[in-house]
Amino acid sequence: MVCKQISKRFIDPPQWWNPLPNPDIPNPSLRKPDLKCHEDKKTGIGRLCVRCQDEEDEEERDREAEREKEKAEKKDAVGARQKARERMKRKFAEEQRKKQEEAIKKLK
């Protein structure tokens, strides 16, 4: 009974419509529009709809988190360079101390 009701409502597609020749072709990816969703005709000021504003806010939070992460990595890199320099200074001072001790041993 359900199938009969569905078949009664079936409409043939228009003559100009053809199915896609290759179903392996991926669907086009639609990019976001560059313009605001709504523009006031009197003032000309545009604004985003609620969904687009939420997406924009989420993208901004992601960008901010990425900036903070890069800033922390850069700070760690500066600290790592400074620590490496301090290690090199300690090694140099230790080598100098060893040379002095060897020179003192040779004199004795």
pLDDT tens digits along 27-57: 777 777 777 887 877 887 888 888 888 988 9
Domain that holds residue 57: 51-108
List the structure tokens of 10. 């079936």
Report angle CA 64, 59, 47 to the nearest 5 degrees.
Answer: 115
Q: Considering the domain boundaries, does residue 25 fall inside one? A: no
Whether residue 19 has pLDDT greater than 80: no
Q: Considering the domain boundaries, does residue 26 fall inside one? A: no
Res 64: pLDDT: 96
Q: Considering the domain boundaries, does residue 17 fall inside one? A: no
Report angle CA 9, 15, 11 to the nearest 5 degrees.
Answer: 0
Q: Considering the domain boundaries, does residue 61 fall inside one? A: yes
Structural domain total, the chain: 1
